[in-house]
Amino acid sequence: MKAPAPESAPAHDAETLAFYDREAETYAARPHAARFERLHRFLALAPPGGTILELGTGGGRDAAEMIRLGFDVTPTDGSAGLAAVATRTLGRPVRLMRFETLDEVAAFDGVWANASLLHAPLERLGGILGRVRRALTPGGRFFATFKAGDGPGRDSLGRYYNFPSEAMLRAAFAEGGPWASLEIEHDHGGGYDGVERDWLICWAVAPS
């Protein structure tokens, strides 16, 4: 894994954000099966009605399900276009926030980052994971998914991905640690670009 970049370096990719701003309406309206198995598993680990930070709400689909189940959700997105779409969908403000500006401390019982942190520059990922850990309450839960690979690259749509191996991902978590526990599951599936890839599914717990 590369050496950490200076904290002043951007923790976002301008070309990727421009894609989501440009394609926000189409991206949010894409058809997909209403599957919430992992989300429900994650929420079952949080206190009823607990505080959840969502990094990368997209069209607001997962946030809507969390709200329906009575959780106190703070949806965020780095794309102004997607944040606007999700605000309309949810009927509540969605915070426009880049990963590197997360600065809350012990504020959330859970952080949900489904298919969002996979766009963070690999050399900044450890620092971002440290920010996530600090934002969690003691024993708080964190969920994130990544497209697996052997290092950064772009898809056919021009979007940046960090494409970590499991070893790279564990190193990034260690850099942002300590964590009480980290489990990484392997899966296989598609994405918006229609390409099937291996995925890394991360479940982490903040220290008590």
Residue with tokens 């440009």: 22
For residue 101, what are the contacts with CB-CB under 8 A and spacing of at least 6? none
Domains of the chain, with CATH numbers?
14-28+36-205 (3.40.50.150)
User: In the prediction, which pLDDT does 191 show?
Assistant: 80
User: In the prediction, which pLDDT does 8 show?
Assistant: 44
Render pLDDT for 13-60 as a digit per residue (tens, 0 to 9): 999 999 999 999 998 888 766 689 999 999 999 999 999 999 999 999
Positions in the chain whose pLDDT score sits under 70: 1-11, 32-34
User: In the prediction, which pLDDT does 194 show?
Assistant: 76
User: In the prediction, which pLDDT does 193 show?
Assistant: 80
Residues in the chain: 208
User: In the prediction, which pLDDT does 38 show?
Assistant: 97
User: In the prediction, which pLDDT does 96 show?
Assistant: 97
User: In the prediction, which pLDDT does 45 show?
Assistant: 97
Greatest CA separation for the chain:
42
CB distance 59 to 89 below 8 Å: yes
